[in-house]
Amino acid sequence: MPQSTSAPLSRRSFSAWIAASAAAAGAGHTALWPGAARAADAPLSSKLRIVIPANEGGGWDQTGRALGAALLASGAVGNVVYENIGGKGGTIGLAKYVEKYDADPEALLVSGMVMVGAVALQKPTVTMANVSPVARLTSDYEVVAVKADSPIKTPKDLIAQLRADAANTVIAGGSAGGVDHMYAGMLARVAGASSTLVYQAHPGGAQVVEALETGKAVAGISGYSEFSDSLASGKLRAIGVSSKQPFQGISSVREQGVDADLANWRGVMTGKKVPPYRKAVLLDAVRRATTHDLWVKTIKRNNWDPYWMAGKDFESFLELDTAMAGPLIYLLKLKA
């Protein structure tokens, strides 16, 4: 097989940002809700709104609703309402959140690496600078899947097909600029096909599965939890995962000879105009929820990795992640 002229690439080797310790900020639990809230004389009301900048069923929706359930179970809040605002990698939901809830101390926005990439690619008026980070919650990996009867058996087979005919090797995934798109770009770069990659963006994992099952895409990229049912039923077949080690019985893309690994992260934000003492109340509520048994069980069931970070550490992490997204998208030649 001819060698690619492109250097091996992983986002972790491209930027050292991912090495930040997941056990960092906010390790102390001395100011848990409700004590801290009473001290601030500003308790959460009986209703907390969680704005999910995606359609129902995807990774952000799963995360937001899992957090809401844990907030209720832990007693941190008395009622949770969910608001789904999908489209364009979360940038539509981001803009609506800033417009409606910028000063609302009882509204959280689900966010993550997908939104960071979508902002860098689409350059909307409202960016990550318009929200304030609360906590990073989870991390998971990208699964590369094909239809069960596909002749593509390994990541090297997919790379070979991209080299031979990238224009007809459609890869389906989530929103343009998001983590799925970035990983598709990494694979295309290994194949020397960055400029000819055909990426089919979808609003959620269910649509990626449909694209694969109907033959509209040759390969699909999404989180494990979004592919798990179709993998279990035998409709789809996983050929690799974006971790450095095997995951859920799936061999990593890297250990199969293709140098491309990537981790996704998800977290929650609040409005820029929410005062610090009210942001602290939100943080304590979220921290309490993520130590509850229901959240721990949900993490395990969805095969997410706990990836807690808060405070100045999370703010610095987000600043670096945002700064790196633009150059990475440029290097991978991703297109909106």
> Which pLDDT belongs to residue 302?
86
SS3 49: strand
What DSSP string describes 199-265? EEE-SSHHHHHHHHHTTS-SEEEEEHHHHHHHHHHTSEEEEEESSSS-BTTBPBTGGGT-----EEE
pLDDT surpassing 70 at residue 23:
no
Q: Name residue 240's beta-bridge partners.
A: 144
Nearest CA to 201 out of 219, 240, 175 is that of 175
> Which pLDDT belongs to residue 333?
86
pLDDT surpassing 70 at residue 26:
no
> Which pLDDT belongs to residue 4?
39
Residue ranges of domains in the chain, CATH in brackets: 16-139+264-332 (3.40.190.150), 141-256 (3.40.190.10)
Instruction: Respond yes or no on whether the N-terminal peptide bond of residue 151 is cis (omega within 30° of 0).
Output: no
Q: Are 181 and 336 in contact (CB under 8 A)?
A: no
> Which pLDDT belongs to residue 225?
81
Task: Give per-residue pLDDT as tens, 93-102.
Answer: 999 999 999 9
- Residue type, position 102, single letter: D
Residues 109-137 have a mean pLDDT of: 96
> Which pLDDT belongs to residue 44?
66
Percent of the chain scoring above 70 in pLDDT: 86
Residue 314 token pair: 């999370």
Q: Is 14 exposed, middle or buried (0-12, 13-18, 19+ CB in 10 A)?
A: middle
Task: Give per-residue pLDDT as tens, 131-162.
Answer: 999 999 999 899 999 999 999 999 999 999 99
* Rama region for 89: left / alpha / beta (φ>0; ψ in -120 to 50; rest): left
Residue 251's CB: how many other CB atoms inside 10 A?
17
pLDDT surpassing 60 at residue 232:
yes
Residue whose tokens read 């099952």: 213
pLDDT surpassing 90 at residue 175:
no
> Which pLDDT belongs to residue 226?
85
Q: Name residue 138's beta-bridge partners.
A: 266, 306
Residue whose tokens read 């979508």: 118
In whole numbers, what is the pLDDT of the chain averaged over residues?
87
pLDDT surpassing 50 at residue 194:
yes
DSSP H helical segments within 191-275, as ranges? Answer: 205-213, 224-233
Confidence bin at 8 (pLDDT 50/70/90):
very low
Task: Give per-residue pLDDT as tens, 27-78.
Answer: 333 333 333 333 334 456 668 999 999 988 888 999 999 999 999 999 999 9
Question: Distance between CA 155 and CA 260 in Å, rounded?
Answer: 10
pLDDT surpassing 70 at residue 122:
yes
Residue 210 token pair: 């449909």
Task: Give per-residue pLDDT as tens, 263-309.
Answer: 889 999 999 999 999 999 999 999 999 999 999 999 999 889 899 99
Query: Which one is predicted more confidently, 9 or 23?
Result: 9
Query: Which one is predicted more confidently, 9 or 214?
Result: 214
Distance of CA 112 to the CA centre of its chain: 5
SS3 269: strand
Nearest CA to 178 out of 237, 111, 245, 132 is that of 111
6-15, 20-29, 142-151, 186-195: range with lowest mean pLDDT: 20-29
> Which pLDDT belongs to residue 17?
34
Question: Distance between CA 32 and CA 35 in Å, rounded?
Answer: 6
> Which pLDDT belongs to residue 332?
86
- CA end-to-end distance (rounded Å), the chain: 31
Residues 6 or more apart whose Cβ sits within 8 Å of residue 6: 189, 190, 191, 192, 194
pLDDT surpassing 50 at residue 6:
no
pLDDT surpassing 80 at residue 14:
no
